Structure 1
Amino acid sequence: MAGLSILIPIFNREVSHLVHSLRVQLSDWPGPAEIRLLDDDSAEEFRVQNRPLAALPRVFYQELPANVGRAAIRNQLVARAEQEWVLLLDNTSQVPDGQYLARYAAALGQAPVLAGGVRYASQVPAEPALRLRWLYGRQREARSLAPRCAAPYDQLLVNNLLLKKEILERFPLNESLRGYGHEDTKLGWQLAAAGVPIHHLDNPILHAGLETAAAFVQKSEQAVANLARLLREDNLLIKSSLTQTAGRLRRVGLAAGAQAALALGEPLLRRNLLGARPSLRALDALKLLWLLREGGGR
């Protein structure tokens, strides 16, 4: 029977609850199964908390001596995986219920790539600093099954993605994209170009780790820089409202004026995002400013 390697990169987070929740479901997989954890140079306090996981049966825990980033650590986990199928999870994940692995096992014959989706808690965080990340997750990442099936390669998330190991060996994540964002965008484009089938199913993982608005704004700016690099260097045809808006502005000669106007409003936009009632429109405006500065858009 096909084996499963669950791959979880760790950075400054304690993951024992996630690991124990997954371990009790390993018997639902119709073949050998393992959990592989790789720490990306976390602070010592988190390493101390996670090291005891190495003593658990079918759990393999290792630490890297230096931080390598989101794409590289996943590629290293794939290289260490011993089974035919690999399940990519973030260290912020939380298993939704006791049938999570069983639902994936039942879908194995559908395609070589299975995407389960992600969801966020329904309640607004009490801490204002966490509301921007929660709002973005609820409105932009937690897509229902129908739109995911309609555009199976768009907005692909490497969190909660089950696929054959050989596919990631053929299409490793782009390690030149440092920091946060869009290594999964390129993977989706590569799978589409190669005609690799993707089957979306309703098996969402719960995103349980919200970062502060300040941290998320910084990561979002890094993601736009990565997006511009993909557009510039890899010539990817990434169709999104952001790239299309920037492209239209350039074609009609309004990019410079729009950039100047957005730059004037940047302090107010940032203030909104860091406040108690953030607006995703403010984030979209900042992303457009960053992409215009990077010279991206079609």
Structure 2
Amino acid sequence: MLSILIPVYNYNTITLVQELYKQVSDCNIAFEILVLDDHSIFFLEENNAINKLTGCTYQILPKNIGRSAIRNLLASKATFDHLLFIDAGTFPSKHNFIKGYLKNIHHKVVTGGMTYLPKPPEKPYKLRWVYTKKREAVIKKQNDKRPIVCSSNFLIQKEVFDKVLFDESLTKYGCEDVVFFDTIIQKGFTIEYIENPVIHDANDDAETFIIKTEYAVENLIQLINKNKLTPDRYKVSRLYYLLRKIHLDKLVKWVFLTFKGSLTRNLKSSNPSILCYDFYRLGYFCFIKNKK
């Protein structure tokens, strides 16, 4: 009935699997939990304990294939018709998390959202926590023009997934989930939004998250250039094209490069500003588009 699919990279996911295993076992349904490791270096022994749980498998890939390809591979290995994708680095916020999805299993696509740790971490992990709280921990209505969806927590019928797939041209972090869910909508399927979030553990330090942010901006530019996303899909790209229209994009690039050190210090501090983070994204966008 239910295939729970978990991509993992350099993360100890045994606690997550044990919780999902307990919850789904209590539901008395046919299930499997498949964990694919994208050629990690760390936590291999810890994660190998997953294979001791009935109906659960942990497999290490011989090479790193990226965030999109590993999700497609997980779906291809799934036995059942309903696929529940959960990211390592998250954890169900409710003890009836699985039951929440089973109540909505008749829908083609269901997303439960994301939330944040109740207690903020210390620096340098505060930035990722702030971003989750301010930008990701929002349940959007179906009729929103730009719904916030993420691939960390969603249920989808296998027949629908096979018609969409993740874009494997994106091997680095960022935008793969937006392209995936936009394609779902373009193909005429409805995404059902429910309050069934996972908690993000904010395990990326600020430097790592800044690098991921730059990857995401680069992916966004690539997708716009290839007409896979429109410039108005993200606020940062809308602002860039507005700035270019009034010939201010190069000025923003200059401000970004001039104050990049100060921006970075703020983002790595105990009180990172989400506005500084937003400007960093915009400045980096202008920098890449005007790079010579």
**TM-score higher than 0.5:** yes
Q: Which runs of 5+ in 2 are unaligned?
A: none
- Preserved CA contact (<8 Å) 1:28 1:102: no
Per-residue deviation at 1:228?
Answer: 0.7
Cα distance in 2 between the residues matched to 1:100 and 1:273: 33
Superposed structure 1 runs of 4+ greater than 6 Å apart: none
Q: Which position in structure 1 is the counterpart of 2:184?
A: 191
Task: Name the residue aligned to 1:274.
Answer: 268
Q: Partner of 2:68 in structure 1?
A: 71
Post-superposition CA distance 1:105-138 (Å, at most 9, x none) = 11123x200000011112221x210110110011
Question: Within 2, Cα distance between the matches of 1:247 and 1:185?
Answer: 20
| CA–CA separation in structure 2 for the residues paired with 1:235 and 1:176 | 11
**Normalised by the size of structure 1, how large is the TM-score?**
0.92
2:90 to 68, 78, 93: 93
Note if 1:114 corresponds to 2:107.
no
* 8 A Cα contact 2:128 2:202, kept in partner: no
Corresponding position: 1:219 with 2:215: no
| Per-residue deviation, residues 122-170 of structure 1 (Å, max 9, x unmatched) | 2221x21011011001110111x3x344428623201111001122211
Read off the aligned partner of 1:114 and give its amino acid letter.
V
Distance 2:28 2:285 in 1: 46
Contact 1:92 1:207 in 2 (8 A): yes
Is 1:254–2:251 an aligned residue pair? no
Question: Which of 37, 46, 50 lines up with 1:49 in the alignment?
Answer: 46
Percent identity among equivalent residues? 30
Alignment equivalent of 1:38, drawn from 31, 36, 39: 36
* 8 A Cα contact 1:154 1:188, kept in partner: no
Structure 2 partner of 1:103: 100
- Which letter maps to 2:201? A
Query: In angstroms, what is the RMSD of aligned CA positions?
Result: 1.7
Report how many residues are paired: 289
Matched, 1:208 2:206: no
Q: Please give the secondary structure, in 1, of the residue aligned with 2:170.
A: coil
Residue 237 of structure 2 is aligned to residue 243 of structure 1? yes
Cα deviation per residue 1:177-212 (whole Å; 9 max; x = unaligned)?
A: 122111001012211211211100010111124210
SS in 2 for 1:288: helix
2:168 aligned residue: 175
TM-score between the two structures when normalised by the length of structure 2: 0.94
Q: 1:130 aligns with which of 109, 125, 140?
A: 125
1:154 corresponds, among 138, 147, 152, to: 147
Worse overlay, 100-109 or 235-244: 235-244
Counterpart amino acid of 1:105?
Answer: L
- 1:5 aligned onto 2:3: yes
Any conservation in 2 of the 1:154–1:185 contact (CA below 8 Å)?
A: no
